[in-house]
């Protein structure tokens, strides 16, 4: 029924001389916007996106990788912009039928989205690694950018809350980020290594961009994969981060709530402090320009731009600004 698909190539062709190799460390929606901006700027295979898999979920025996899929679907032009996850125009006939059978259905699984999880799980069960599966899916969907999982194992982030310890998706989706957060556990990451292609991409990059993603549940797990933080720190690339906090608020998701509950300043500066020591440049939104001096005192250059990527041209403009940092 499912013969091995064609062999796939993982990672970028660094021998290509035509431009600057870029690495983006990415979570979900915010990252996808910036990554889309780079793609619209024509980076193609010069861009490697290292994606968080700490938000992965195993349900109904399927390996579900929400951040990986958000990045892939966005690059393939399939993403559902209204929901912020899944596929445009998707339906829930299978999920509704699962509910009729007695299954828990709090996690959204669209019918088309489900195909990705089934196919991925099927290939993993045939012995493929997650990086190869991701590369094959990207190839099938016409995505030229190199999308790489941070690591290949299933290493779900657990959220310690006043309602107990929750799987990240239980916290995000089932509990709608309600419980107060006390901390995080990146389960199993200690025994992981960067997925194939990740270290090479970081080593060859001229710019490494930490996308405007949640520092605790999106970027944190990526940097906690043994070897990745060190690779970023020792890379000759310029390392920049784009603030996920604009005007004291997160554009999407619980970043602001988490900063507050964990005792950090709920501001771009609060995020910059978390990345201190790793960054050459911190990119602030225009409305936070007043924070620039304080962030510069943390030992990084500050660049002020419009970081709210609500149009294709805004996405491209921010991507261009980052490429011009060199």
- Per-residue x/- mask for a copy of itself, residues 95 to 134, rule CB under 8 A? xxxx-xxxxx--x---xxxxxx-xx-xx--x---------
Element (H, E) at 51: strand 47-51
CB of 269 to a copy of itself, least distance (A): 38
What is d(CA 291, CA 268) in angstroms, rounded to the nearest whole number?
A: 7
Find residue 92's DSSP bridge partners.
none
User: What whole-number distance in Å separates Cα of residue 234 and Cα of residue 242?
Assistant: 20
The pattern of x and - marking residues 69 through 98 that bind a copy of itself according to CB under 8 A reads ------------------x--xx-xxxxxx
Q: Which CB sits closer to a copy of itself, 111 or 280?
A: 111
**Of the residues 7, 17, 61, 127, which one makes contact with a copy of itself according to CB under 8 A:** 61
Are residues 40 and 167 in contact, defined by beta-carbon separation less than 8 angstroms?
no
Q: At its nearest, how many Å lie between a copy of itself and the CB of residue 50?
A: 22
Work out which of 20, 108, 129, 140 binds a copy of itself, going by CB under 8 A. Answer: 140
Query: How far is it, in rounded angstroms, from Cα 132 to Cα 148?
Result: 9
The encoded tokens of residue 114 equal 């489900």
Tell me how many residues contact a copy of itself (CB under 8 A).
41
| Torsion of Cα atoms, 48 then 171 then 221 then 245, to 10° | 70
Cβ at position 103, least distance to a copy of itself in Å: 6
- Helix boundaries (H) for the chain: 29-40, 66-75, 93-101, 111-125, 130-140, 168-169, 198-204, 220-224, 228-234, 255-261, 268-274, 292-296, 312-323
Asked whether the CA dihedral 134, 228, 154, 78 is positive or negative, the reply is negative
94/281 with CB nearer a copy of itself = 94
| DSSP of 217-278 | IIIHHHHHSTTHHHHHHH-SSEEEEE-SEETTEESSSSHHHHHHHTT--SSHHHHHHHTTTT
Residues 247-306 that bind a copy of itself (CB under 8 A): none
Contact assessment for residue 38 and residue 22, using Cβ atoms and an 8 Å cutoff: yes
Q: Does 137 bind a copy of itself (CB under 8 A)?
A: yes
CB 59 to a copy of itself: min, Å: 4
**With CB under 8 A as the contact rule, which of the stretches 36-44, 52-60, 148-156, 314-322 interacts with a copy of itself?**
52-60
From residue 183 to residue 212, the character string flagging contacts with a copy of itself as x (rule: CB under 8 A) and all else as - is ------------------------------
CB of 92 to a copy of itself, least distance (A): 9
Q: Which residues bind a copy of itself (CB under 8 A)?
A: 1-3, 5-6, 57-62, 87, 90-91, 93-98, 100-104, 107, 111-116, 118-119, 121-122, 125, 136-137, 140-141
């Amino acid at each position: 029924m499912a013969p091995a698909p064609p062999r796939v190539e993982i990672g970028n062709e660094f021998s290509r001389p035509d431009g600057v190799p870029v690495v983006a460390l990415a979570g979900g929606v915010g990252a996808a916007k910036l990554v889309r901006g780079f793609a619209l700027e024509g980076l193609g295979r010069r861009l490697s996106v290292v994606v968080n898999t700490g938000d992965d979920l195993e349900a109904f025996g399927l390996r579900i990788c929400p951040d990986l899929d958000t990045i892939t679907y966005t690059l393939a032009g399939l993403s559902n912009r209204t929901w912020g996850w899944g596929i445009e125009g998707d339906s829930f006939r299978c999920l509704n039928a699962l509910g009729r059978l007695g299954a828990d259905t709090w996690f959204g699984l669209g019918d088309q989205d489900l195909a990705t999880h089934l196919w991925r799980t099927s290939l993993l069960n045939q012995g493929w690694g997650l990086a190869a599966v991701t590369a094959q899916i990207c190839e099938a969907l016409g995505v030229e950018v190199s999308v790489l999982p941070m690591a290949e194992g299933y290493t779900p982030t657990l959220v310690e809350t006043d309602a107990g310890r929750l799987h990240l998706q239980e916290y995000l989706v089932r509990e709608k980020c309600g419980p107060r957060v006390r901390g995080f556990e990146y389960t199993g990451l200690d025994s992981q290594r960067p997925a194939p292609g990740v270290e090479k991409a970081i080593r060859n990059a001229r710019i490494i961009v930490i996308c405007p993603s949640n520092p605790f549940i999106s970027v944190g797990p990526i940097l906690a994969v043994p070897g990745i933080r060190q690779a970023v720190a020792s890379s000759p690339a310029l390392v920049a981060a784009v603030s996920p906090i604009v005007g004291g608020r997160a554009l999407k998701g619980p970043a602001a709530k988490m900063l507050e509950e964990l005792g950090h300043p709920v501001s771009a500066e609060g995020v910059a402090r978390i990345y201190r020591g790793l960054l050459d440049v911190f990119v602030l939104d225009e409305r936070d320009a007043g924070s620039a001096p304080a962030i510069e005192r943390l030992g990084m250059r500050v660049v002020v731009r419009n970081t709210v990527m609500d149009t294709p041209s805004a996405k491209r403009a921010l991507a261009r600004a980052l490429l011009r940092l060199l």
